[in-house]
Structure 1
């Protein structure tokens, strides 16, 4: 793989992650449908595991909302048509009357398809506990 191809792949995955976070916060189900693989496994920071369809259904129905998403760290390793993303982000999750701010680490796997498009196939986030006072 050439350096140019590697740089383009890394840039595409980083932009995919930024677009995914923007779509989370705006409730843009159509963008998420394009970015997330039908085979997605999403492991939430609370340990819940969910597939693409149930997650998008909850988002579309307003049962979960996201706000104030911000990435503070991000790196990508490219392994052929697979990319490993590691990042840190802050995000407010609103579920019913409950609002929780999360400071989390994320590990995601992205896959490049024959048409050159990248999709997230797996993601897991882990909460970072607050610093003791």
Structure 2
């Protein structure tokens, strides 16, 4: 896997999250995936993807607005970028925010790259 390949996987993951497409998003996330949201909440894969599939988490927009920087070392890859997000959680009004993301990918036993950890930090 090269840097551009990992960038495309991250872009595909973001598109699937906005579309609420769990079928596409599921194999891109490791079974032990954990995300820490800009508000400091920690969610498991099931809480996150299940919330998206049910509409509890409703991304209207989630895209990189900076270069997606990539570092790959063997079976680990890290992506870092700034995003623009429009999201509604639990039926609340849509919130707009900008965030920095640091996502750690690893290769699974089948040779697929999956995100394992995701950390988002809101910025002004």
* Matching residue of 2:122: 127
What is the TM-score normalised by the length of structure 2? 0.92
Tell whether 2:73 aligns with 1:79.
yes
* Bigger Rg, structure 1 or 2: 1
The runs of 5 or more residues in structure 1 that have no matched partner are 1-7
Report how many aligned residue pairs link the two structures.
122
1:97 to 76, 89, 92: 92
SS of residue matched to 1:32: helix
Distance 1:115 1:25 in 2: 26
How far is the alpha carbon of 1:112 from its aligned partner? 1.4
Which stretches of structure 1, 4 residues or more, deviate above 6 A after TM superposition? none
* Matching residue of 2:30: 37
What is the TM-score normalised by the length of structure 1? 0.86
The runs of 5 or more residues in structure 2 that have no matched partner are none
Would you say the 8 A contact 1:12–1:118 is kept in 2?
A: no
SS of residue matched to 1:59: helix
Cα RMSD after superposing both structures: 1.2
Distance 2:73 2:107 in 1: 10
* Matching residue of 1:47: 40
